[in-house]
Structure 1
Amino acid sequence: MLTNNIIFYSDESSIKISVNKDLFNKMYQYCDKSYPNETGGILIGTYLDKQTAEIVAVIGPSEDSKTWKTRFNRGAKGINKLLKEYWEQGIYYLGEWHFHPNGSPYPSNIDTDTLTSISNNSKYSCPEPILIIISGSHNCYNQKSYLYSSTGQKFEMNC
């Protein structure tokens, strides 16, 4: 792991999440571009070992995504092709990221339902998806990370 990474952990889960600070800067750029509307995308990465998920790439919203001030629907145009290219490199879909402008970095019921559904959907091959929520506005962002299990548990991760 690089020293430029932020490590998220929970005392309730054995899994840690490692994210390079440059990837947060990339997400912040998407947030700046979308502001005052929500935005989001996909987290790509791998497991360094059975307990550490490393996010190595961030995909922004596809062109068919829908965005409003208090809602975001991630589109799918071009996503399967990108995921296949990453898969061939040995890196995979690990979850979603999402922006709550001027809001809190806590998941809504829709966010939680979506991630729980992903954890139970074999097409994603992701039984423990990660959700990163960014809140705030230009140059003043907060973020929180969450891990969802197929049993419906949600773990709030700390850094």
Structure 2
Amino acid sequence: MNSKYILPDKNLTLTITEELLDKMYLSVKAHYPNEFGGLLIGFYNDDNKNLVITDILLPNVFTSTPVFFERQAEDLQKDLQDFYSSAPSKFYVGEWHSHPNGGTMPSSRDIKAMMYIQDDGNVAVEKPILGILSYNNKTENYKIQFHLIINNKIYTYEKN
């Protein structure tokens, strides 16, 4: 089953499977109480209006605390190259990470990181997506929101 999100201001949609959301949730739960995350892989269709997230890549090398997550870019480079070789129609579309016992809005550090990625000439996607998964270990509940940062402004996808 798919979950669909919309960004009405920009006439954009984002689709991700429940199975992939569950995989993200389980990896977050396994690393609790620290933040954890990875890369989002997918493709656009309909004149770059509809993003379909098909996969995530999880890092092996990272630094993580309850309020900080940083993956090592070099760690996933080979995984990305292998992925592109096997599925050339899919590519890096953004990042995701958790906010244990926190909210789903990006922090100022998150925004700076996404702006850096957006401005990096080595990244093929113009508008990278940021997914933030909030996880509460007492209730076992999680919530995810996807964000797009354009010209220092945050746009948040709404669940459709």
CA gap of 1:79–1:141, structure 2 versus 1, over 3 A, is same
Match for 1:58: what amino acid? I
Q: Distance in 1 between matches of 2:74 and 2:22?
A: 24
**Which residue pairs with 2:68 in the alignment?**
71
Q: Hey, what's the Cα distance between the residues in 2 that align with 1:142 and 1:135?
A: 5
Preserved contact between residue 6 and residue 158 of structure 2 (Cα < 8 Å): yes
For residues 97 and 135 of structure 1, the distance between their equivalents in structure 2, rounded to whole angstroms, comes to 11
> Which residue of 6, 10, 19 corresponds with 1:9?
6
Aligned partner of 1:31 in structure 2 is 28
Q: Which runs of 5+ in 1 are unaligned?
A: none
User: Is the contact between residue 35 and residue 137 of structure 1 (CA under 8 Å) also seen in structure 2?
Assistant: no
Distance 1:96 1:85 in 2: 18
Conservation of the 8 A alpha-carbon contact between 2:7 and 2:157: yes
2:28 and 2:19 map into 1 onto residues whose CA distance is 14
5+ residue gaps, structure 2, are none
- The answer to whether the 8 Å contact 1:32/1:137 transfers is no
Counting only pairs closer than 5 Å after superposition, residues 1-150 of structure 1 correspond to structure 2 as 4-49=1-46, 50-60=48-58, 62-88=59-85, 89=87, 90-138=89-137, 139-149=140-150
Tell me how large the CA RMSD over aligned residues is. Answer: 1.3
Deviation at 1:136, TM superposition (A): 2.1
Aligned length: 154
1:128 Cα offset (Å)? 0.6
TM-score, normalised with respect to structure 2: 0.91
Residue 28 of structure 1: how far off its partner (Å): 0.6
- TM-score when scaled to structure 1? 0.91
Give the letter for the 1:80 counterpart.
Q
How far apart are 1:132 and its partner, in Å?
0.7
